[in-house]
Every structure is written in C-alpha cells, then in structure tokens.
A and B are shown apart, each in its own frame.
Chain A
C-alpha cells in the first residue's frame, strides 16, 4: 500500500496519514491509494505536515503497518541504539522489527 509520511512542522515529530488526520504511530497509517499526491499538496499547503512524501508499505496480518524501507522503519520507531527513546521503550523485540 501507499502511505504518506512527513514531519510535524512545529515539533518535527514523524507523522503518518491516517486518511483524515496525522498520527505519530505508523500502525494508524491508511492506504492513500490514488489520492496520495492530492492529499500531500493540500496538507502541506495547510502546514499540517512538513516535507511529506509517499512510501511503500505493507499491512501485516495483525493489522500493523510495515514500511518497505529500513529508513522509514527507523523513523517509525526511533533510534535502534536508544530503545529507551523509541515509541516502544518497554518492548525489547520492537527493534527486531526495524532490521
């Protein structure tokens, strides 16, 4: 599926397009399908996202979303060398998901 991502203009947080708004959690990401370019343009113009772009991702059986490229998996979770600063600090397995 095609997923939209970018950073929050004010905070710089990594955010994902849910179909109607932006979430910090990649698993909330929706398939943007054909509308991707249009959504990016309006959302960027409205300053609800900064430097947005489209990535390839897959929806897993458990409903989670896995970006195709490792860079976006690092963005989705956080630095692999600082598990305490990732979005899942209590889950040691989470890092395996990145690699």
Chain B
C-alpha cells in the first residue's frame, strides 16, 4: 500500500459538514486489490470506473491535477458522482482560481491546491455563474429547464 501522505489540513476549501478523512490515500490499483482502503487517489490516466465496485467503502477520493490543463480529472469526478458516490471528492494539485467553478460543477466538494489561493478571488470564482447551461451532477437546474418551468 502506498501512502501518499496527504493530510487533511492542506484542504483550503471544503463544502461538506462531515469530518475530513484523515488517512492517507492509496492508488487506484491498490484500492482494487485491497479491501480495507477508504481513501484513494486518482491520477489523470486512471480509469475512475475501476472504483465503481468499491464506492460503498470509500470516504474520500482525491483527484490529482498535475497540471491544470489536463482535464481528465473533470470526467473522473463526474463519473463517480454519476455512479452515486457521495463521499468527499477532493481536487488536488495544480488547482487555480479559474478552475474552481467548473470543478465544483463536476462534483468536487473539497479543494487542496498546491499553491494556496486568494480567498476573496476564490469566493468570487465559486460564485461566477448564477445559472448554467449543462446538466451535471451538481443537481442545479439548467437554464433550459428554468426556461420551461
């Protein structure tokens, strides 16, 4: 088991009330092999669907963005939420102000950026869109739905 040693105090923004998981994460491969891991880390090349059989026992999934331009983590996040995962979904790595609102919409509810972000800028970023065009797992009604209520 590889302990990547992420500790919860690196989380800068969190949109959950439960206690943060404070144990280290394992890789996706390790998670599939071991039955007791409750926190896992997804790298961009990992198949998030490999985790689907284990969602019940997972309390935290960390999705790594080695560079913000690698957008595979957005798909990973949505796939997990679409499959009903309700635990913490944490974006880690090269996470900047300008990615926050999209990440939130894809189901991330915790953010542990490599470089701490300016809090005022981040708050503005989270609130960027009053309404949205696409249905995602954030549960918001889309503009198209609002138009036809």
**Do A and B touch (CB < 8 Å)?**
no
